[in-house]
Amino acid sequence: MDNNGEPMSLAEFLSASLARVRPLPPIDLDLTQACGCILAANVTAPGPLPAFDHATVDGYAVRFEDVVAATPQRPVALKVLGDVSAASWRPVRLVADTCFAVAAGAALPVGTDAVVPLGWTDGGMAAVQVAQAPKRGHGLRRAGSELETGAILAHNGQHVTPQLVALMAAAGVGDIVVRPTPRVVVIATGDELMDTGRVSQPGQLVDVNSHALTAAASEAGAHAYRVGICDDEPEALRTVLDDQILRADLVITTGGTGTGPGDMVRRTFGRDKTVQFSPVAVYPPSTMGFGTVGPEEVPIACLPGDPGAAMIAYEVLARPIILRLAGAEPVFRPSVKANLMETVTSPSNFREFRPVHVAERRGGGYTVAPLPGGPYTLSGLAEATGLMVLGEKVTTAPAGATVDVLLFDRHR
């Protein structure tokens, strides 16, 4: 809270929390292992790309002046001096009225100006008839035509994709310096919780959060570990943390963040001030905790127990922490401006995050339709393609108003 006893603004809470999180130290990884990580240094080409002149089609390597006059009516005859495959090469040179049969990917003889595709010839072995003149440079790629030695292949902070792996491998890169994938441990707390596979009943609730948040952390690029359910007992929680802390770069707990007698997480961590539990002017959730645990001072995000509120709190707090640890920028989801399809109301003095369906409008721009039930309805969250953000001063947003929307990365 601030000095006036008012809830902390979301911007203030996030700024204070994220300021305590540093990207993980860089490590050197093999290309394939590094896929999905964030680069911690620029990657430069150790050699040119392509590395040598080579054929892009099966055919005959020729000098342009020898075949420039070739037509179907008057084909040009060339002597075939030999074959060059992609797996074998020898230093050879073209002379007048000669050619080499070459395979796609094969290094080209010195003096090659073009590669005539097989279909433009009679396919001869000792001698060949060329019935169509290629353009100079047809069917081949020159060394360095794509990238020169020393060219930057990828920049510090760039996400390593399969396509980038392909480029770096082709350029001769074997390993790169990246931020490691964050390891996230997810713990659900509550005596009332039971595992999935059964239906909730009075006194027992299915543990939704540990499954959902583990999946969400994985979606964000983390190595996520679901510890499961921990009873509402301080020593039980501390024992679980002692077991898990060595393999965690971030711990996420759910439940127990309130002020009631059964809110064990807040009582356990709030007492020794390792975690600050702050009423935040956000709906939902209203209370979240952030701090560090263990001698290594591993970050911990304490989220509320209600599944809808926990998922919103994850988007607001935990997901940005994961991306910060990974070295990614920006850490928040992309946002767009969209026109509201219907009038909505919002709690005063709270920043509200509401599940919505976002649609691109023909001709440009976006429209946004709130989903029934708000953030506490899991079916709405499951269908949402984004989160509409309504500011603290907004109590009513009329149909047609322009609102901010955070976009989920969903392919539908």
Domain ranges of the chain: 10-24+180-326, 27-46+152-178, 54-141, 335-407
pLDDT-above-90 percentage for the chain: 79
The model's confidence at residue 46, banded by pLDDT at 50, 70 and 90, is: very high
Q: pLDDT tens-digit profile of 177-206?
A: 999 999 999 999 988 888 888 888 887 889
Question: How high is the pLDDT of residue 284?
Answer: 85
The model's confidence at residue 272, banded by pLDDT at 50, 70 and 90, is: confident
The string of DSSP letters for 206-261 reads E--HHHHHHHHHHHTT-EEEEEEEE-S-HHHHHHHHHHHGGG-SEEEEES--SSST
Question: How high is the pLDDT of residue 322?
Answer: 98
CA distances from 346 to 304, 354, 393, 400 (A): 20, 10, 9, 16
Range with the poorest average pLDDT among 160-164, 222-226, 291-295: 291-295
Q: What are phi and psi of 382, to 5 degrees?
A: -65, -30
Q: What is the CATH number of domain 54-141?
A: 2.170.190.11
Question: How high is the pLDDT of residue 125?
Answer: 95
Asked if residues 302 and 269 have their Cβ atoms less than 8 Å apart, the reply is: yes
- Across 279-306, average pLDDT: 91
Residue with tokens 């994220």: 18
The model's confidence at residue 38, banded by pLDDT at 50, 70 and 90, is: very high
What is the H or E stretch that residue 396 is in? strand 396-397
Range with the poorest average pLDDT among 81-95, 119-133, 323-337: 81-95
Domain 10-24+180-326, second-level architecture: 3-Layer(aba) Sandwich (3.40)
Smallest Cα–Cα separation from 309: which of 342, 289, 286, 333? 286
Determine the Cα–Cα distance for residues 253 and 269; give it in Å rounded to an integer: 11
Smallest Cα–Cα separation from 179: which of 311, 27, 48? 27
Classified by CATH at the fold level, domain 335-407 comes out as Beta-clip (2.40.340)
Question: How high is the pLDDT of residue 386?
Answer: 95
The reply to whether 335-407 shares the fold of 54-141 is no
Classified by CATH at the fold level, domain 27-46+152-178 comes out as Molybdopterin biosynthesis moea protein, domain 2 (3.90.105)
Q: Which pair of tokens denotes residue 271? A: 């007492």
The model's confidence at residue 84, banded by pLDDT at 50, 70 and 90, is: very high
The model's confidence at residue 5, banded by pLDDT at 50, 70 and 90, is: low
Count of alpha carbons within 13 angstroms of residue 321, beta-carbon side: 30
Q: pLDDT tens-digit profile of 207-264?
A: 999 999 999 999 999 999 999 899 888 888 889 999 999 999 999 999 988 777 667 8
Range with the poorest average pLDDT among 43-52, 212-221, 378-387: 378-387
